[in-house]
């Protein structure tokens, strides 16, 4: 018989932090805190296995569960001298979800459970505070009604607002016990009206209703959306934590708060948090009241006018500092904690690894190495390579004038410009039209996740640094300004009012999440500083990693950028990008429109000097680092004009007729250009094109080598599917190389290889490797052909596929290990079997994706190549892969 329940509290626990999979993060850490002797209210955890049972068995429970819950509840009753449902000293509990991966705001919580018309009177007597008791009952009805019975919270809020208006008061706290009693009656009537049945008065019914709601919420749409976005498997399940209530809202000697052992925004080793006096926990997180700072130092950052806990409640603050010390040393990582003070006694309700900005993560990790808490390898593991991106993008130019619209809390760093949208749906719609958007809300909620994900930045007018918007934006690496109270949002009218002026949907603003500023219009951005903690970590990273990291680059600017980000060569230089310059494309078009080989050769002769110059620049900049140069790849009609105007211009310039251009366009038109006349197929049918390119490469190499700069060209033949294609074109390369060597007297050290980007090439890698000296896996095209997905067309069904969980990851972002990955593995193995020193790399978009980089390490590639901006990400990911960073660990940190 399985053990379904684990208890905690009172300095001991059946579980430990290591039992996260079974108890969920919250339950495991409650158990761990108990064992550490920290003050944790008594409670128990129903395991994730029950959730799985529940999901798989038509929302039923294991048969022995009910008895178990009764038993464990009995133990709490006994320890506290309270009775669940008792008329005197009633036991009230919270019911909270807690899954293996932290999923902020995604799961449902019910507080004050156990209250009914009878027990509320017991609570009156027990607390001596009628107002508190009925406020608790009111909150419970609202929360339970909303979460368990499906009566939307607006129903209750409307009644509350009406009531306040009737009484002529502004604040909830102005309502008396009698008002609240009347409100409870109204709430109960509203539930019966909307739900069709009376509010359940039996606490046991309440409890099982709440447990079922938590388990049921695991499969709700927003949880599924979150899991899809974070690649969390559906079968992990959530645990349920049932815990005796402690009250932060029982009077002025009560409080509740959230704190971080270090600053989650910049990583400073300073205690950091927010609290509210006489409040329940959700009041802080929900961002409805602006909370007070934890410390005096913290006042500067957030709410300078409110007293800090350090000053207001010094003894309790000292207790909390002890907890901080103990937990950070125990977990050796920055912790995010929730606490409640009930009648001047501190209770810990949660601890977890704290989310942090990448900047903070870097500082915390490098500081902790300095403090001896962790080693360098652990520091490397701690940084989320995906989020490193945050540091690598431009921030606002501090010199530029800012047309300020307002100011809020610097909730998630980085800056972004975009068009205003007022709801998540609009954000997704605009974004689908390739518009950059900034989501502006009073406050965000889990329903907004999808829209937040596609936004450049988030701006809210309410909520603090730990509000939903702030937490989620930091997690996503999106800039966020929260609690910008001097701005006003009218969501229905789609209007943002700032400085008395209305901004409408589509208006452009800039949001600076590092300073909290909201600025009118677009702003100039500046490059990030890649020094300090970043540079230190990158030094450690380069000591650890075993794979090389190169960049994809064609222009001198890209090549220089790549070097500055630490690229060790160019892994993909797409020569066709060099032909789109206006003075070049005309020759390219002449070449394509040529009616015979002679004409074609003349046009190519005109292109040769340009192409040679390109390579002279690249060789010079890269100074001896290897450069993989891919010969012409796209179908020729990508270079031809397609509008009448352009065609007329080209006809004139190329001395031909519109008719001739149309004819050629029709000839070159293809049903499926991705599978058409491109890549090495062009090299086979028009060898003079490749000859020109190869000549340009070798002439450039000879020129540069003559100046004393070493050169290392790697000629890459694209789209090979048949061994003979490679062989014929390698012979061409060798012949031209010999010619140029003879002409210039320079011996060039070069390699010839191929892209493995078609399933057949991967399967036939053995025979291709007989001639090829290197393979570069072109996983973009390999993904297209392996799945039969056209990257340009996948939008027609990708959303549906994501929504139905058919694709967890976009296979164009993270390599599909099972399918595409198997072909890459086969290609690598068969190639190496024939040529042991075959150089293997990857040059698709996957080269800059950490999960894909880990895969590349696993199968033994020599290097990855990605866009210049992603080079540091790839370096870090390669180091983590070399350390064998656990993939699960990665998701937990999210």
CA distance 451 to 373: 39
d(CA 695, CA 743): 11
Least Å distance, CB 629 to its own copies, is 21
Smallest separation (angstroms) from its own copies to the CB of 794: 8
Distance in Å, CB of 844 to its own copies, minimum? 15
> Closest CB to its own copies among 216 and 673?
673
Q: What angle do CA 45, 51, 52 make, to 5 degrees?
A: 135
Is residue 263 helix, strand or coil?
coil
Cα Rg for the chain, rounded, in angstroms? 32
Taking the least distance from each CB to its own copies, the nearer of 138 and 723 is 723
Neighbour tally for 657: CB within 10 Å = 12
CB distance 499 to 551 below 8 Å? no
Q: What minimum distance in Å lies between the beta carbon of 674 and its own copies?
A: 4
Q: Which is nearer to its own copies, 751 or 763 (CB)?
A: 763
Site residues for its own copies per CB under 8 A: 670-677, 681, 684-685, 719, 721-722, 724-725, 728, 757-760, 763-764, 781, 784-790, 792-793, 796-797, 800-801, 804-807, 816, 818-820, 822-823
**482 within 8 A of 287, measured Cβ to Cβ:** yes
User: Which residues in 708-846 belong to E strands, given as ranges?
Assistant: 713-717, 751-756, 774-777, 839-842
Helix (H, G, I), strand (E, B) or coil at 845: helix
Element holding 336 (H helix, E strand):
strand 335-342
**Residue number, 122 or 778, with CB nearest to its own copies:** 778
CB of 634 to its own copies, least distance (A): 12
Phi, psi of 853 (to 5 degrees): -60, -40
What's the token pair of residue 858? 């696993």
In this complex, which beta carbon is closest to its own copies, that of residue 98 or of residue 679? 679
- Which CB, 185 or 792, lies closer to its own copies? 792
In the complex with its own copies, the residue whose CB is nearer, 643 or 685, is 685
Minimal distance in Å, beta carbon 594 to its own copies? Answer: 16
DSSP string, 133-173: HHHHHHHHHHHHHHHTT---HHHHHHHHHHHHHHHT-SSGG
| Euclidean distance between CA atoms 374 and 356, whole angstroms | 17
Q: Both tokens of residue 600? A: 């074609």
Q: Which helix (H) or strand (E) holds 742?
A: helix 723-744
Question: Which residue matches tokens 């040769």?
Answer: 608
- Give the shortest CB-785-to-its own copies separation in angstroms: 5
Q: Least CB distance from residue 798 to its own copies, whole Å? A: 10
- Rounded to the nearest 10 degrees, the angle between the axes of helix 48-56 and helix 203-217 is 80
User: How far is residue 870's CA from residue 567's CA, in Å, rounded to a whole number?
Assistant: 10
Q: How many Å apart are CA 12 and CA 508, to the nearest integer?
A: 56
| Residues classed as catalytic | 468, 843
Q: In whole angstroms, how close is the CB of 539 to its own copies at the nearest point?
A: 40
Nearest CA to 714 out of 739, 740, 749 is that of: 749
Give Cβ neighbours of residue 635 (< 8 Å, ≥ 6 apart).
Answer: 668, 670, 673, 676, 677, 678
DSSP 280: -
| Residue among 682, 658, 686 nearest 670 (CA) | 682
Coil vs helix vs strand at 403: coil
Q: Toward its own copies, which CB reaches closer, 574 or 764? A: 764
Which one, 488 or 677, has the nearer CB to its own copies?
677
């Amino acid at each position: 018989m399985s053990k379904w329940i684990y208890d905690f509290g009172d300095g001991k626990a059946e579980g430990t932090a290591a039992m996260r999979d079974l108890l969920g993060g919250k339950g495991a850490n409650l158990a761990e805190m108990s064992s550490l002797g920290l003050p944790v209210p008594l409670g128990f955890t129903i395991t994730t296995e029950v959730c799985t049972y529940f999901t798989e068995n038509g929302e039923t429970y294991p048969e022995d569960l009910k008895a178990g819950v009764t038993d464990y509840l009995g133990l709490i009753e006994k320890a506290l001298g309270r009775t669940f449902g008792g008329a005197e000293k009633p036991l009230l509990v919270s019911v909270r979800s807690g899954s293996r991966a932290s999923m902020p705001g995604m799961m449902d919580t019910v507080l004050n459970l156990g209250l009914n018309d009878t027990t509320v009177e017991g609570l009156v007597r027990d607390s001596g505070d009628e107002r508190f008791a009925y406020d608790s009952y009111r909150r419970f009805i609202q929360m339970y009604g909303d979460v368990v019975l499906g009566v939307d919270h607006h129903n209750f809020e409307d009644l509350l607002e009406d009531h306040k208006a009737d009484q002529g008061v502004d604040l909830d706290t102005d309502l008396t016990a009698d008002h609240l009693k009347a409100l409870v009656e109204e709430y109960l009537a509203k539930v019966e009206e909307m739900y069709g049945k009376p509010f359940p008065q039996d606490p046991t019914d309440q409890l099982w209703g709440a447990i079922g709601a938590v388990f049921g919420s695991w499969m709700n749409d927003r949880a599924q959306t979150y899991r899809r976005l974070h690649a969390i498997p559906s079968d992990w399940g959530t645990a349920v934590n049932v815990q005796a209530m402690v009250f932060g809202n029982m009077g002025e000697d009560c409080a509740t708060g959230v704190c971080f052992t270090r600053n989650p925004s910049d990583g400073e080793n300073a205690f950091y948090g927010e609290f509210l006096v006489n409040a329940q926990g959700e009041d802080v997180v929900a961002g409805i009241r602006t909370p007070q700072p934890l410390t005096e130092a913290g006042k500067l950052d957030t709410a300078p006018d409110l007293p800090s806990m350090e000053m207001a409640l010094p003894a309790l603050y000292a207790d909390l500092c002890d907890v901080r010390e103990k937990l950070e040393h125990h977990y050796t990582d920055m912790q995010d904690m929730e606490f409640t003070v009930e009648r001047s006694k501190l209770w810990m309700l949660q601890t977890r690894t704290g989310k942090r900005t990448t900047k903070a993560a870097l500082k915390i990790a490098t500081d902790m190495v300095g403090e001896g808490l962790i080693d360098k390898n652990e520091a490397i593991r701690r940084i989320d390579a995906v989020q490193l991106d945050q540091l690598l993008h431009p921030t606002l130019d501090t010199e530029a004038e800012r047309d300020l619209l307002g100011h809020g809390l610097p909730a998630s760093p980085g800056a972004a410009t975009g068009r205003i949208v007022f709801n998540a749906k609009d954000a997704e719609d605009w974004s689908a039209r390739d518009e950059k958007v900034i989501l502006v809300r009073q406050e965000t909620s889990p329903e907004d996740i999808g829209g937040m994900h596609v936004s450049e930045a988030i701006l809210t007018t309410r909520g603090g640094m730990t509000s939903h918007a702030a937490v989620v934006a930091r997690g996503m690496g999106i800039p966020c300004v929260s609690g910008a109270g001097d701005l006003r949002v009218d969501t229905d009218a789609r209007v943002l009012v700032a400085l008395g002026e209305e901004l409408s949907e589509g208006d452009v603003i800039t949001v600076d999440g590092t300073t909290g500023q909201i600025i009118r219009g677009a702003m100039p951005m500046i490059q990030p500083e890649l020094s300090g903690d970043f540079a230190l970590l990158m030094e450690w990273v380069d000591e650890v990693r075993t794979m090389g990291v190169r960049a994809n680059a064609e222009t001198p600017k890209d090549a220089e950028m790549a070097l500055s980000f630490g690229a060790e060569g160019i892994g993909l230089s797409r020569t066709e990008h060099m032909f789109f310059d206006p003075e070049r494309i005309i020759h390219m078009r002449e070449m394509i429109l040529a009616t015979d080989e002679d004409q074609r050769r003349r046009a190519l002769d005109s292109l040769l000097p340009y192409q040679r110059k390109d390579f002279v620049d690249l060789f010079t900049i890269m100074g001896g680092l290897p450069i993989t140069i891919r010969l012409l790849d796209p179908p020729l009609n990508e270079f031809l004009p397609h509008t009448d105007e352009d065609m007329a211009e080209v006809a004139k310039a190329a001395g031909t007729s519109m008719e001739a251009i149309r004819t050629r366009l029709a000839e070159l038109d293809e049903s499926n250009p991705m599978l058409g006349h491109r890549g090495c197929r062009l090299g086979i049918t028009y060898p003079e094109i490749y000859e020109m390119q190869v000549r340009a490469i070798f002439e450039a190499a000879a020129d540069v080598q003559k100046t004393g700069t070493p050169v290392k060209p790697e000629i890459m033949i694209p789209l090979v599917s048949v061994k003979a294609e490679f062989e014929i074109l390698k012979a061409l390369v060798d012949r031209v190389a010999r010619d140029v060597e003879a002409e210039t007297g320079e011996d060039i050290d070069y390699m010839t290889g191929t892209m493995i980007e078609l399933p057949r090439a991967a399967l036939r890698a053995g025979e291709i490797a007989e001639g090829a000296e290197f393979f570069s896996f072109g996983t973009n095209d390999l993904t297209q052909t392996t799945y039969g997905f056209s990257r340009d067309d996948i939008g027609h069904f990708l959303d549906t596929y994501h929504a139905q969980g058919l694709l967890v990851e976009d296979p164009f972002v993270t390599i599909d290990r099972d399918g595409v990955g198997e072909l890459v593995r086969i290609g690598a193995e068969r190639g190496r079997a024939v040529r042991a020193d075959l150089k293997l790399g990857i040059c698709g978009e996957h080269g800059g994706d950490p999960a894909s980089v880990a895969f590349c390490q696993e199968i033994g590639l020599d290097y990855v190549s990605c866009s210049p901006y992603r080079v540091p990400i790839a370096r870090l990911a390669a180091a983590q892969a070399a350390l064998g960073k656990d993939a699960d660990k990665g998701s937990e940190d999210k």
